[in-house]
Amino acid sequence: MIFIQHSPQLASYQPSALVKLLLKSFGGIILLVGLLNIYFSGGERSLPFWVVGIITALGWHAVFGSFRVRIDLTDQMIELKATALMPIFNRRYSLVGARGFRVVSTGASTRPYSVLLVTREGQQITISNAKHQGDAVITARQFVEFCRLPWVDDINPSCSTGS
């Protein structure tokens, strides 16, 4: 995931073009295999229908799935959107009066560090998850600099020096 600044007012946080290309080409092969399995399903040596369903869905998500965070300073909104040719979620939060960003360790096994947006009301919204603390801090710093919002006092002392 990379932070791209399109203009002084607009930025997005999304997978890089190379990652997208690799994912979609590899996913396309899986999707093709899944669709062929569906077409030839019912034969003696064909896979169980639920296995075919999982394989095809994996390919589907790899090809059509997308997730991005979009920041529009003109509207003072941050939008988190995930789709896979169908809406999965689309959440919008106001940046007006937001207290800033912070990095926390959530204790998750795969991606334990989260970048959070702290709204004016004190609500904490996860913007991104990272495997390493350094990556989360870099991401949070990019959000902080673009949105011109402060760091919120952090549970990780090393992060609080970021601003």
Residue of 3, 103, 128, 144 that binds another protein (CB under 8 A): 128
Residue 104 to residue 116: CA distance in whole angstroms: 8
Site string for another protein, 36-75 (x = CB under 8 A): -xxx-xxx-----xx-xxx-xx--xx--------------
138 near another protein, rule: CB under 8 A:
no
Neighbours of 127 (CB within 10 A): 19
Interface with another protein, residue 114, by CB under 8 A: yes
- Decide whether 61 or 70 has the Cβ nearer to another protein: 61
DSSP one-letter string for 72-123: ETTTTEEEEEEEESSEEEEEEEE-TT--EEEEEE---SS--EEEEEE-TTS-
Is the Cβ–Cβ distance between 14 and 68 less than 8 Å? Answer: yes
Compute how many other C-beta atoms are within 10 angstroms of the C-beta atom of residue 134.
Answer: 13
Q: How far is the CB of 109 from another protein (least distance, A)?
A: 14
Greatest Cα pair distance, the chain, in angstroms, is: 63
Q: Which of 9, 124, 158, 163 binds another protein (CB under 8 A)?
A: 124
Binding stretches for another protein (CB under 8 A): 34, 37-39, 41-43, 49-50, 52-54, 56-57, 60-61, 77, 80, 82, 84, 86-89, 91-94, 96-97, 99, 104, 106, 114, 116, 118, 120-129, 152
